[in-house]
Amino acid sequence: MRTNSKKFIYLISPLKIDKIFYTNLISILKLKKTCIFQLRLKKVSFEKKLIIGRKIKKICKKFNVKFLVNDDVFLARKLNADGCHLGQKDMKIHKARKIIGNKIIGVTCHNSIRLAKSAIKNKANYIAFGAFNYSKTKRVKYIASINLLRKARKMTKIPIVAIGGINSNNYKKLLLNKANFLAISSYIWKNKKLKPHEAIKKLK
């Protein structure tokens, strides 16, 4: 998984996909700042996820953005997605690898170097740390620090994703401390002042 300093945004979907979402997604991806898009839907049937996923995958392909699925390895396989993201309570990497083969597999490591070492040993394609800030997307259980980011960077060359409450005021600090990608959701989709494409433009 290559990193591109201009394309540092790892965009996570809102929990509900409405009709205007697809138009907003196109306007965001046109700006060429997004490297990865993750479909993260919790209370939606497998069939509906398939329909939504197929539409998003087409848009991602058009703009050369990697399309990943959160949690569900079987959905990732069915959609022929570029990969999946696994939480600590999800399927283990070696099992996921048997199902989706040589695709991207990223792993949540919270604020733990131990979990990161385990993910690297099991050949994860990237590791994700967070939350670095208070997040509107999910309840914050683990707080990650800039120091953790520095330690992880000394330990591995694989891409590091920073997650949690990232916005236009705090994103630069994470990039300066060697995070390759910034996972962003609520700043884009729940921003009361800016439209999604306007919010992305603030991240330069």
Within-domain flag for 192 = yes
Q: Which residues contact 159 (CB under 8 A, 6 or more apart)?
A: 1, 3, 125, 126, 127, 180, 181
Q: Give the pLDDT confidence score for residue 5 in this predicted structure.
A: 65
Instruction: State the Cα–Cα distance between residues 180 and 117, nearest whole angstrom.
Output: 18
Q: Is the pLDDT score of 1 beyond 80? A: no
Within-domain flag for 2 = no
Q: What's the predicted TM-score (pTM) here?
A: 0.95
Strand-strand pairing, 34-39 and 126-130: unpaired
Tell me the average pLDDT of the chain: 95
Within-domain flag for 88 = yes
Q: Give the pLDDT confidence score for residue 157 in this predicted structure.
A: 95
Q: What is the pLDDT of residues 29-64, one digit of tens each?
A: 999 999 999 999 989 999 999 999 999 999 999 999
What is the domain-level CATH number for residue 44? 3.20.20.70
Q: Is the pLDDT score of 103 beyond 80? A: yes
Within-domain flag for 1 = no
Residue numbers of the domain that contains 141: 9-201
Q: Which residues contact 76 (CB under 8 A, 6 or more apart)?
A: 68, 69, 83, 84, 99, 100, 103
Poorest-pLDDT segment among 74-78, 101-105, 142-146: 142-146
Within-domain flag for 3 = no
Average pLDDT over residues 153-175: 96
**Domain tally, the chain:** 1
Q: What is the pLDDT of residues 119-146, one digit of tens each?
A: 999 999 999 999 999 876 667 788 999 9
* Confidence band, pLDDT 50/70/90 cuts, at residue 100: very high
Q: Give the pLDDT confidence score for residue 134 in this predicted structure.
A: 80
